[in-house]
């Protein structure tokens, strides 16, 4: 192969390569990336145990209702009446006897605001979600002077978070 033929071959290969690797036009488009965070809450109610009751003294105990809600989500916690169907007083029922023990649940340590559903002089506890668990104290009071049959007394309260 002579120099002239070799040079022509090199030019032909270069032209071929340039033609294959070069694009003549482009086009573009866009697409969306999305996510949705819904308002959501989880509630955990912890048992409240008065322990052994002495009818000569008022018994008080605390518990908590914990709420975890998505950030900025407003929430309200209500507590049911329990088995008595009344907020004032709530009543625990004996397991064997037909006796009841009056008690109540409050939003404050001074036992002045009954924690209920916002009706009949009761109130709910409200807040705004942070994404972390928020603990809310339930203040329980079992008044003195209730001379009842020896028994185990219970009631079931439903805690509800509305958001």
Residue 18 reports pLDDT greater than 70 = no
0.95 exceeded by the pTM?
Answer: no
Q: Which residue has the higher pLDDT, 116 or 12?
A: 116
**Domain range summary for the chain, segments of one domain joined by +:** 41-162
Q: Which residues contact 48 (CB under 8 A, 6 or more apart)?
A: 61, 62, 63, 105, 138, 140
Per the rule left: phi > 0, alpha: psi between -120 and 50, beta: everything else, 129 is beta
**What distance in Å separates the CA atoms of residue 151 and residue 111, rounded to the nearest whole number?**
26
Output the pLDDT for position 99: 95
**Three-state SS at 134:** strand
Cα–chain center distance at 62: 20
Does domain 41-162 bear CATH number 3.30.2350.10? no
Output the pLDDT for position 1: 55
Output the pLDDT for position 15: 53
Output the pLDDT for position 19: 53
43-98 tens-digit pLDDT: 999 999 999 999 999 999 999 999 999 999 999 999 999 999 999 999 999 999 88
Model confidence at 156, in pLDDT bands (50, 70, 90)?
very high
Contact assessment for residue 152 and residue 95, using Cβ atoms and an 8 Å cutoff: yes
Residue 125 reports pLDDT greater than 60 = yes
22-37 tens-digit pLDDT: 688 999 999 999 999 9
């Amino acid at each position: 192969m002579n120099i002239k033929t070799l040079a022509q071959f090199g030019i032909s290969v270069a032209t071929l390569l340039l033609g294959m690797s070069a694009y003549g036009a482009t086009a573009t488009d866009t697409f969306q990336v999305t996510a949705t965070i819904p308002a959501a809450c989880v509630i955990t109610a912890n048992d409240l145990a008065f322990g052994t009751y002495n009818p000569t003294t008022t018994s008080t105990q605390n518990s908590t209702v914990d709420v975890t809600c998505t950030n900025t989500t407003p929430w309200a916690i209500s507590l049911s009446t329990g088995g008595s169907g009344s907020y004032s007083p709530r009543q625990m029922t004996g397991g064997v006897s037909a006796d009841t023990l009056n008690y109540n649940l409050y939003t404050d340590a001074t036992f002045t605001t009954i924690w209920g559903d916002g009706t009949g002089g009761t109130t709910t506890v409200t807040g705004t979600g942070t994404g972390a668990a928020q603990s809310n104290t339930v203040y329980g009071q079992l008044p003195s002077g209730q001379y009842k049959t020896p028994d185990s007394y219970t009631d079931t309260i439903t805690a509800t978070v509305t958001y």
